[in-house]
Structures are given as C-alpha cells and as structure tokens.
Amino acid sequence: MTGRRPRRAPPPVAGQLLDWTDAKHWARTQAPCRYCRKPTFLRDDERLPADKVCAEQAITQRAARAASTYQQNGTL
C-alpha cells in the first residue's frame, strides 16, 4: 500500500483549549470578534467570529464560573 496517511492535528499544548489548525476555525471573510470587536478571520466552535485569545479566555472564564458555582451549590 503506497497511499499517504491523513495529516493529524498535533495534540493540544497545555493552555491551548481549541485546535486552531482545524479548518472549521477559519473563514474567507473578516468579521468583528464577538468579544473585542476587532476584525478576524477566526471562528470559535460555534462558528461565530472570535480571536484565538478572546475565545480561549471566554472558555477559561466559563469553566471557572462553573467550578465556582459547583463548589458553592454542589451542583451546576
């Protein structure tokens, strides 16, 4: 068999929350980031315009709020 294996994305690095090499995170046109309003070609997991740093900060903040709520209430 002489076929090439498909390219796999590298494993996430510590502190990296999304695989930004995946084509689903890129668009052909710029749009304002949903967080900072600067133009970006990047899209988050919901396909909404979002800079890499802004999207990962939002994910981190949501996770921290969920953990805090769980610690206070015992449920999410």
Q: Report yes or no on 12 lying in a domain.
A: no
* CA–CA gap between residue 27 and residue 11 (Å, rounded): 23
What is the pLDDT, as a whole number, of residue 63? 87
What is the pLDDT, as a whole number, of residue 6? 62
Contact predicate 36/51, CB 8 Å: yes
Handedness of CA 75, 60, 24, 30 (dihedral sign): positive
Q: Report yes or no on 10 lying in a domain.
A: no
pLDDT in tens, 34-67: 999 999 999 988 899 999 999 989 988 988 898 8
Q: How many structural domains are present in the chain?
A: 1
Higher-pLDDT residue of 74 and 1 is: 74
Q: Which domain holds residue 30?
A: 23-73
pLDDT in tens, 58-73: 988 988 898 888 888 8
What is the pLDDT, as a whole number, of residue 28? 95
Q: Report yes or no on 18 lying in a domain.
A: no
Q: How does DSSP classify residue 31?
A: E
